[in-house]
Structure 1
Amino acid sequence: MGLSPVLPAEAYGTRGRPGLSRGMLALITVLQKVENLTDRAAADRAKFGMDWKYALPLEADDPGFDHTVLSEFRARVAAHGLEEKRWICCWPRWPGKG
């Protein structure tokens, strides 16, 4: 199962150019929380950090994204009461597996 089904479409924007998947945005917010980073610092880590590129997964030459995408994503998640669902991507899927 990919990360996109974690959050419903309401947590995702509908206008503008195609963006990051909602599953990837959820994972970025998890990594951001773990490393206690600002939105700008998290966007920089996704752009320049090979460990984040591997985890997300992004190509080595991926141009990154604007840091405001993260606050917009969190606002959409909160507007639809989905705050807890974004953490599902990092919880163990099977009891006793970790």
Structure 2
Amino acid sequence: MDVKQAVVSAKKEITELFADEQLTNIGLEDVELDDQANEWRVTIGFSRPWDEPRNSFAAVAGSGVPRRSYKIVRISNTTDKALSIKNREIAN
């Protein structure tokens, strides 16, 4: 599998798993191949409806940009199957 296929697989897993959460702003954040584990680690970022500012004051007080969640999707390089999906911790 190449990097493009790994990214497509990871995005598909995220959109299917979180389908009922109305995800927006779905995008690739980073990707790497772990040769020893023979798997891809793809980080996908997205926003959920509750991540957006609730009113105009909240939008002005913050950046007005919704917060994002980041998930690391491990994809088997041989089977193209998702092995796990974990939160990616973001430093403040």
Q: Which has the higher strand share?
A: 2
TM-score normalised by the chain length of structure 1: 0.28
Q: Which has the higher helix share?
A: 1
Q: Which protein has the larger Cα radius of gyration, Structure 1 or Structure 2?
A: 2
Which structure exhibits the higher relative contact order, with contacts defined as CA atoms closer than 8 Å and separated by 6 or more residues? 1
TM-score normalised by the chain length of structure 2: 0.30
